[in-house]
Amino acid sequence: MLCISVIGTGYLGATHAAGMAELGFDVLGVDSNPAKAAALSAGRVPFHEPGLSELLAGHVAGGRLRFGTSLIEAAEFADVHFLCVGTPPGVNGAADLSQLYAALDGLVPHLTRNCLIVGKSTVPVGTAEALTARIAELAPEGISVDLAWNPEFLREGHAVHDTLHPNRLVFGVTTPDAEWALRQVYATPIAAGSPVVITNLPTAELIKVSANAFLATKISFINAMAELCDLTGADVTLLADALGHDDRIGRKFLGAGLGYGGGCLPKDVRALIARATELGAGESVDFLRDIDAVNLRRRERVVRDTLELLGGHRPQGRVGVLGAAFKPLSDDVRDSPALDVAQRLHAAGVEVTVFDPAATGPARAVAPQLVFAATPAAALHEADVVLHLTEWREFRELDPGFLRTVARGRVIIDARNTLDPEPWLAAGWDFRALGRLVEPRTVAGRVGAPAGTAYPAPAVREPVAEPARALAQPSPLTRLRARVRRTA
């Protein structure tokens, strides 16, 4: 049985290490941060990911998974080394590869056996070629080291499932031995039907950033259509449903709203632009600059609409924000549209109170100037405007009638287009959405409406009766039959 090391134990590395242990391997996770390694050694995951804490704690307790800080120990222990270190954005959006080179420099000179090094970090195309040369310089005499690239496709909130049941496995390899080793590592999901794509190194490097750029394109496309819907009275939700029935397009990632964020899509789009520009092909990806601009414009739209509700250039009032994480089932606030909107409103002089089911700690560390509440009701207390900015299931289950007694104003902006407007309208809220056609039910629910304002019930639309003379006339089908009989 192969022994595995996972170098870098952030979100990707900790999940991958636990997944490899679940697949039956002895695993050593290595991180340069002693506090992080100690927490993981105690079975504690320092971020929110459903199912991961139980998986990791179980394998730590069983002895199959352990963590440390020594790359020398990893070099002596493992046959396969997975590089899962961060590649954060650097100058002009280009990826900073310093952690990747530091990991190689600390690992390769101490290798004691032939092995495979596998990159999982998202990197610019051409990185693996440079790393191959670096490994050749550093490897001890007589030690054979292969380099492969195996990009990750984890969805935050579903990372455990995606690790154990990948929807595809990409192996960027240069030798049969490297492919053989990766097939041994992933034998269980391959046997269960996960498809394998064998490529060269540059293709494997490009696949991950290309996938994220394409997903970002779909999101920004539907948000651009939402802007047109707002101007014309069309409904972007129905538009997306109709597009989704075309199997060439599909419905996924056609949810209009506040736009994308997190640690992958924004970073990878900008890194792809930077790398293409370095290679002299910047014009080929100019459209991605527009994709990024559309995405950022969604945040500006919500901020602008909220400020207008609060009085324009000199806003007065309080905003209750539902959501801080960039997506549900995660506490990740990296480039979070929700937190960005909250921070911009605070900078404009608005009192902002935020609630998130999981991301309060990380959000407070990034934006200590904001007020964070322990419950949704506390976040909405005396709020003039309510913003729904992260699509947690818990927010779909809120009681609009009760929240009406808590908030001061009666306006909610559903910036994620995932709330059912009907119960909010029935409770007397002025319900607004981005690109979505919502039948207004209220007449007063604006900022400053006095508490206890009565809201009329919606007018009942009776079906329009067809004129009697039309009903008395023969139907087209009757006339057609008559013609057929006459000609028979």
Joined together, the tokens standing for residue 436 give: 């979505």
What is the distance between the alpha carbons of residues 49 and 162, in angstroms, rounded to a whole number? 12
Check: CB of residue 208 under 8 Å from CB of residue 412.
no
CA angle 34, 38, 39 (to 5 degrees): 120
Tokens coding 475: 């139907």
End-to-end CA distance of the chain: 83
Which residue in 84, 115, 229, 264 is the catalytic one?
A: 264
Furthest C-alpha separation in the chain: 99
Say whether 264 is catalytic: yes
What are the backbone dihedrals phi and psi of residue 273, each rounded to the nearest 5 degrees, phi first? -60, -45
Q: How far, in Å, CA of 87 to CA of 77, rounded?
A: 25
Residues designated as active site: 264
